[in-house]
Structure formats: structure tokens, C-alpha cells
């Protein structure tokens, strides 16, 4: 049985000295990079990861976390009291993969087969803001926006041509939005009218609506590949 397990593992390797091939040996398994994506904004519980990754079974998630941990990309730790729960987080080296994830997103969105109507996690939305941010277009803009998706809160701020996206509450936002990541993306990337999504109950807005629309104006979808 042990020999069979080793044989199966060895067949998944590229046996190629190219560092790109080695990187794919480490994170090329299905779901591995999406698990990393969900950890880019901080530690998550096992149940949080399952809730964010629609269609991922507990068994496969366990396998991916074990593989990433063995590779030195993910580590486990227990939060101090009163939480006292086990969480998973990226190591310092694991966090260095963020530019790779963002570049893949910028490349993949140009595919004619990309379907933006599929499920979209809050972390994926926050990282998309980073991936498509253009400091030149943000010159002179200063906004702070709070997003709430169920029990998850996020803060997005633009100041001096720098974008900040992070998990947690914004202390004094210009505007707060609550709803779904897909609804926010529909306004930012699909240029859907904000009023229409409010009328449908997909989004609620509290505060300076124009502040959010100024953020949305920074983004445009790139042309599709020919």
C-alpha cells in the first residue's frame, strides 16, 4: 500500500529542473492555488475555507492543506484565548506568491470563456481590486470604504495613489456596502447601475454613495483575447 502511494505521488511530478515546473509540482493540484488565494488576507479556519470555496469537499481540502503545509507554503496555529481555534495561514514564503495569483487573474479575465456570473468569494473580490488597480487613474483620490458580506468585514482605502485592501472593520469609512461580492463586482466591473442593485435588494449602501462610485470608476475590464 505504501509503495502504491509513493508511485501515485511520483507520477504527479514533472521531473523537470525548470523552476516553473517545480512550482507546479508544489501548487499545481486542483484547488491548491484557490486555497492560497483565500489565505492571502490572513488566517482562516477550516470551515471558513470550505464556505468560501464552493464545490470543494472536506476531504480534498484536507489533502490540499496537508500538501501545502508539507511544502512549507501553509502552516497551522492555534489562536490564543478566548478564540482558541485552529487556523491555517500562509508562511512568509507562501505570501510571496501573491503577484503570481494577481498576474494569473489579469491574464485569465481576458479569456472569452471567463464567466463573471459564477460564485465569487469576498477575498477574490478584494484581490481583484489589487490586481486591476492603476495608481495613475487614482491620482488625487482619497476614499475609505467598508464592505460587509454576511459576517465578514473588509476595508478598502485609496490615498496618494496607493490601494489598501484588508480584512476587518473600517473605523470611519466614507461609505459602507453590504450584500454579495458578485453584486459589488457587477457595479465595479460590469458597470451595472448601483440603484438597480439596491432596488433588487442585492446591495445596501450607507453613507457617501459617490465615494464608492469613485472607486468603481477606477476599474475597466480589459479587452478579451482575440
Domains plus CATH for the chain?
A: 2-96 (1.10.10.10), 122-216 (3.30.1050.10)
Q: 7 CB contacts (<8 Å, ≥6 apart)? A: none
Closest by Cα among 86, 91, 87, 53 to 71:
91
Start-to-end C-alpha separation, the chain = 49
- What are the angstrom distances between the C-alpha of 51 and each of 120, 196, 200? 11, 28, 24
- As beta bridge partners, residue 93 has none
Residue 1 has a pLDDT of 45
- Digits of tens for pLDDT over the chain (226 positions)? 444 443 344 457 888 999 999 999 999 999 999 999 999 999 999 999 999 998 899 999 999 999 999 999 999 999 888 878 999 999 999 999 999 999 999 999 999 999 988 888 999 999 999 999 999 999 999 999 999 999 999 999 999 999 999 999 999 999 999 999 999 999 999 999 999 999 999 999 999 999 999 999 999 999 999 8
Q: Please answer whether residues 131 and 123 qualify as being in contact, where contact means their C-beta atoms are separated by less than 8 angstroms.
A: no
Paired residues of 176 in beta bridges: 146, 206
Question: Could you tell me if 73 and 32 are in contact, meaning their C-beta atoms sit under 8 angstroms apart?
Answer: no
Amino acid at each position: 500500500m505504501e509503495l502504491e502511494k509513493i508511485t501515485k505521488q511520483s507520477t504527479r511530478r514533472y521531473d523537470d529542473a525548470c523552476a516553473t515546473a517545480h512550482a507546479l509540482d508544489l501548487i499545481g493540484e486542483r484547488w491548491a492555488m484557490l486555497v492560497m488565494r483565500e489565505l492571502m488576507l490572513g488566517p482562516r479556519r477550516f470551515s471558513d475555507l470550505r464556505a468560501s470555496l464552493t464545490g470543494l469537499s472536506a476531504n480534498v481540502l484536507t489533502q490540499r492543506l496537508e500538501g501545502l503545509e508539507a511544502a512549507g507554503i501553509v502552516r497551522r496555529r492555534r489562536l490564543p484565548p478566548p478564540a482558541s481555534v485552529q487556523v491555517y495561514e500562509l508562511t512568509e514564503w507562501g505570501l510571496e506568491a501573491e503577484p503570481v495569483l494577481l498576474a494569473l487573474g489579469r491574464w485569465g479575465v481576458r479569456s472569452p470563456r471567463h464567466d463573471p456570473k459564477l460564485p465569487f468569494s469576498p477575498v477574490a473580490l478584494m484581490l481583484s481590486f489589487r490586481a486591476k488597480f492603476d495608481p495613475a487613474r487614482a491620482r488625487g483620490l482619497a476614499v475609505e470604504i467598508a464592505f460587509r458580506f454576511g459576517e465578514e468585514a473588509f476595508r478598502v482605502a485609496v490615498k496618494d495613489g496607493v490601494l489598501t485592501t484588508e480584512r476587518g472593520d473600517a473605523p470611519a469609512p466614507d461609505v459602507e456596502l453590504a450584500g454579495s461580492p458578485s453584486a459589488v463586482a457587477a457595479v465595479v466591473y460590469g458597470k451595472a447601475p448601483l440603484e438597480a442593485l439596491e432596488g433588487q435588494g442585492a446591495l445596501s449602501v450607507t453613507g457617501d454613495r459617490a465615494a464608492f462610485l469613485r472607486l468603481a470608476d477606477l476599474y475597466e475590464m480589459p479587452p478579451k483575447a482575440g
